[in-house]
Amino acid sequence: MAQRFVACDREQSFLMPPDVRAWLPEQHLAWFVIDAVAEMNLDAFYAAYRIDGRSRPPYDPAMMVALLLYAYARGIRSSRVIERACEEDVAFRVLAAQQRPDHATLARFLERHQEAIAGLFGEVLTLCARSGLAKVGVIAVDGTKVQANASRDANVDYEQLAREIVEEAKAVDAAEDELHGDARGDELPPEFSTAQGRRGWLREAKQRPEAERAANPQPVPRSRPQRVKEAKRRLEEERVTEVRANRAYEAYRARGRMKDGRRFGRPPDPYQPPATPEGHINLTDPDSRVVKGLRGFLQGYNAQAVTNEHQVVLAAEIETVGADFGHLEPMLDATQRELAAAGIDEAPEVLLADAGYWHGEQMQRIADRGIEVLVPPDTGRRRTTRRNWEGGRYEQMREVLASERGGELYRKRQPMIEPVFAQMKFNRGLDRFRRRGRGAVRTEWRLITATHNLLKLHRHTLAAA
């Protein structure tokens, strides 16, 4: 009996079903992303386009948003890789509806809608709230260091930068001396160097438009009364505008107060910059800083996040300082803003953080809100012997953490937030940010955390089904 195999005929006219809905299984992530985008408010994207129908029609923002969310959920952040996937990957072809936006279009979409894309984090959090994943009984805050799209070798101080500018100026002068010699380089051409040559060139220039007008007669200009009437109209419009502006200013001064309620007073002192700026600046990404990571120092950002017990990210922000000190209360405020925007009226009950967030004043203000704060005064690896760390609030916090309830609550911190960073960095390839500038990096970080929540919601939906 002869061997038998499944036929593999590459000459067949059409190997895939004619309906794209049959290309992927019903529970595929691509269909979930499409349904999730359909529930989002994308008015901020559509408001950026013309409403008169002119110019070349752009790609549908809903399709572009779904494409970016799916790509980032799969750990793909390169616009060129996304463009290639729209040709080779079945899921991307379904999301793009067989369209193929190029990498330049994708990059411009990210840049043009930077604020709106950052707002997708709140839209996904709203969907998580509807499914019950955004509970806020116990929350944890932490930060992770992510490398920027810049090199540490590009950090320079003021003196080095000034020295490079002077050296560049010298190089430019040397190149111009070699090119022009003793001349300045802006001398007139030979035909303009004499009065006779200039008169001849002007005579030819004057005859040229006369010949063109003779060949193409122009319409009869408007009459003098029409021009006078139009000039009077423009003067009247300018006078009315000036009168309105003067009235508005007088009313503003008559109130005696600014818009925020403060009275007029002495103007602020003008800013006096220092004679020599301090510190270093990165020429590739000026907003990035040298921060300390797990494997030494790197040029990057401090990515902050707040999560709940379901490992859903409730807030995501970017800081340019390496230390976590001072970010406890701002991240709590950011969390409450995101929860309010998502329609969640609940307030956190317990806030967990590691020793790097210890800030006595901020912890006291948070406790005054009725939120319990658990932050160890030391790392636990090495007990400090400094006198100001003994007694008072420090010993009280150690006693709380040593109790059965306090220890049980604080042990939740590590499994609540650290696996989130591990999943983003090692499973989805967040080795460095691709965009530059704090605003662009914040948008990228919020998009990454939004897709993390979207994956959580997808798995929750599958489990419920």
Closest C-alpha among 165, 115, 176, 210 to residue 442: 115
From CA 428, how far away is CA 145, in angstroms rounded? 16
- Check if the beta carbon of residue 33 is closer than 8 Å to that of residue 454: yes
pLDDT tens for residues 400-448?
899 999 999 999 999 999 999 999 999 898 989 999 999 999 999 999 9
pLDDT tens for residues 14-72?
667 777 777 888 889 999 999 999 999 999 999 888 887 777 888 999 999 999 999 99
Three-class SS of residue 181? coil
259 has pLDDT over 90: no
Average pLDDT for residues 178-182, to the nearest whole number?
80
pLDDT tens for residues 277-295?
677 888 888 888 888 887 7
Three-class SS of residue 142? strand
Q: In the structure, what pLDDT confidence band is assigned to residue 111 with cuts at 50, 70 and 90?
A: very high
- What was the pLDDT predicted at 254? 64
Instruction: Indicate the burial class of 280 (C-beta count within 10 angstroms; 0-12, 13-18, 19 or more).
Output: middle
Strands (E), 349-458: 350-352, 372-374
- What was the pLDDT predicted at 152? 86
Average pLDDT for residues 442-465, to the nearest whole number?
92
Greatest alpha-carbon span in the chain: 105
From CA 21, how far away is CA 26, in angstroms rounded? 8
Our CA angle for 123, 334, 118, nearest 5°, is 40
Three-class SS of residue 132? coil
From CA 152, how far away is CA 283, in angstroms rounded? 10
Sequence letter at residue 1: M
Whole-model pTM: value is 0.75
Q: Which of residues 219 and 418 earns the better pLDDT score?
A: 418
- Check if the beta carbon of residue 417 is closer than 8 Å to that of residue 351: no
314 has pLDDT over 90: yes
How, if at all, do strands 372-374 and 350-352 pair? parallel
Q: Which of residues 168 and 185 earns the better pLDDT score?
A: 168
From CA 434, how far away is CA 432, in angstroms rounded? 6
Which tokens sit at 453?
């929540």
